[in-house]
Amino acid sequence: SMQTSGNKLCSCPSFKLREVASMYFTMITVFLVILVVALRGLAPHGSDFPYKVTLDPKGLLELSWNVSYPDEVVNFRLLIRDLKFGLLFGMSDRGEFEDADLAVLWSDGHNSYFGDAWSDAKGQLHMDSQQDYQLLGAQRAPEGLYLLFRRAFSTCDPKDYLIEDDTVHLIYGILEKPVHSLEAINISAIHRGLQRVQLLKPNITIPEMPSDMKIKEITVLNVVIPSQETTYWCSTTELPEGFPKHHIIMYEPVITPGNEALVHHMEVFQCAATFDSFPQYDGPCDSKMKPDQLNYCRHVLAAWAMGAQAFYYPKEAGLVFGGPGFSRYLRLEIHYHNPLVFKGRRDSSGIRLYYTATLRQHDAGIMELGLVYTPVMAIPPGEDAFNFTGYCTDKCTQLALPAGGIRIFASQLHTHLAGRKVVTVLARDGREQQVVNSDRHYSPHFQEIRMLKEVVAVFPGDELITTCLYNTEDRTNATVGGFGIREEMCVNYVHYYPQTQLELCKSAVDPGYLHRYFNLVNRFNDEEVCMCPQVSVPQQFSSVPWNTFNKDMLKSLYGFAPISVHCNKSSAVRFPVRTSSLPKLPKKTPSCR
């Protein structure tokens, strides 16, 4: 029988055959004992596994992997530095240990076993009847035990995680005592954690680097990482006066050795060009000592998150660096994640930019898609899956894009803490053409600029539709759109060439229709929302009694009301687009499953 898994068709054996296979696999795994042997010889070459991430804060588990697109498999190499009695490694929807797909190495004190397992909704482990984590070998080395195994992107097993292009929540657990069987492992009692990565990296061709390539390292200098779980550190730097126009053609992370598990993500921002001078600052981003001018450094030049490699611009384009109209002042922001609260750790991490004076054919641009930052877009409390959609309309692209169109080659999705899924689709003539970027396991704690597998061409008259899904189950008040971390955003920063004047192509519901919504709430709920002009929209939302009727009405409003379109040039001047027009939805609406 043919069974669909995601978009993949895979032929599954018939039921009887599966039963036999199931017994056979269980026999192999449980009775024949897959012994983990200490093989002689060297550890596998690092170059065979180009992607690497430390799983735990102590750095005891180091995962490397490579991707074979022809075979549709991921090959893993897991270095266990201090093996006790085994470990769990796997994937789950958002990093939970319930309903997880796991590879387990365990020891009863005499023999070691390896098997593919799954956990149920209560966190109880079960051996999988279909063994899809395939053990390739185990090798002892001075630094620890290397475990090599592989896993297909898509299996015919309903208990297995479907590996896609988006964020993957990897989970791990360390067994510190012997266990007599897989089922006897109590996952709530073990040392465990999660790490987010994008496993399926795009298989891009690395462009040739020019001979006149120069390097600028934008790093912090010997900072003492604060002894608290989360720190955002801000540091300013400047380019020399009269620095001429160059193109950034690649960048990569510079991580202080030993801090690989602490440096969570980093971004370099360019400051507004209006400042002639800029205060120097090196300290926590939330400090009262931080100069206000740093809030005007919002234009992303480079972004890196754990597990990401070097970022390459396509050979046709480079990002403008220096020259007229380019601010000399840059801000580096580093997110330190220090859950074990190490004290006195010093760090000099940052981002290394590679740039050239030999300009490429096109300047690359960055455009914001999605929703305008405005409190008129609000999410009621207690919602497990609330959708917002922002439109870059056909009228805006018709006015602002060149006749030959633009090419999107990378994308960075962005929401605040309630964001769970983000997808941008391209629509032409009212029909969905293709997905530009989608992350159905999106996490606000893992935002990297991702190179797209294939370049997306956008022409005048096309629409770019961005949908974000939010979860506010843990909140008691409405969450409004805005800049604060407890407020929400729905943005896709797309990287494209050739650069145009269009910096922002977004929408929000027409504010007049929100006024009508509050009037309706008052008619049905004893005039609870104050309609006087001095009361702000967030205050109005906070006084809405959030019953099912008011929630459903708000959802309907966002689904049908006319939108206000922002079609902005770099100078925040709008292209002349009529602000209210009913969104013309594609026949196939963007799905955010």
Euclidean distance between CA atoms 208 and 441, whole angstroms: 34
φ, ψ (nearest 5 deg) of residue 590: -60, 125
Is 414 among the residues known to form the active site? yes
Signed CA dihedral, 396, 401, 404, 408: sign only: negative
Please answer whether residues 553 and 520 qualify as being in contact, where contact means their C-beta atoms are separated by less than 8 angstroms.
yes
Is 232 among the residues known to form the active site? yes
Bond from prior residue into 279 cis (ω within 30 degrees of 0): no
Euclidean distance between CA atoms 198 and 412, whole angstroms: 13
Classify residue 97 by its DSSP letter.
Answer: S
- Give me the DSSP letters along 38-88: -B-SPPPPGGGS-EEEE-STTS-EEEEEEEETTTTEEEEEEEESS-SSEEE
Classify residue 377 by its DSSP letter.
Answer: S
Q: Give helix then strand counts, H and E, for the chain.
A: 5, 38
Point out the catalytic residue in the list 169, 264, 414, 566.
Answer: 414
Tokens of 348: 């000099």
Q: What three-state secondary structure class fits 376?
A: coil
Euclidean distance between CA atoms 462 and 434, whole angstroms: 12
φ, ψ (nearest 5 deg) of residue 294: -65, -20
Q: What three-state secondary structure class fits 36?
A: coil
CB atoms within 10 A of CB 479: 25
Angle between helices 511-524 and 548-560 (to 10 degrees): 160
Signed CA dihedral, 428, 432, 433, 436: sign only: positive
Q: Which amino acid is at 314?
A: P
Euclidean distance between CA atoms 233 and 268, whole angstroms: 12
Q: Which residues contact 157 (CB under 8 A, 6 or more apart)?
A: 128, 130, 132
Point out the catalytic residue in the list 232, 281, 296, 513.
Answer: 232
Q: Are strands 463-470 and 419-428 parallel, antiparallel or unpaired?
A: antiparallel
Active-site annotation, residues: 232, 414
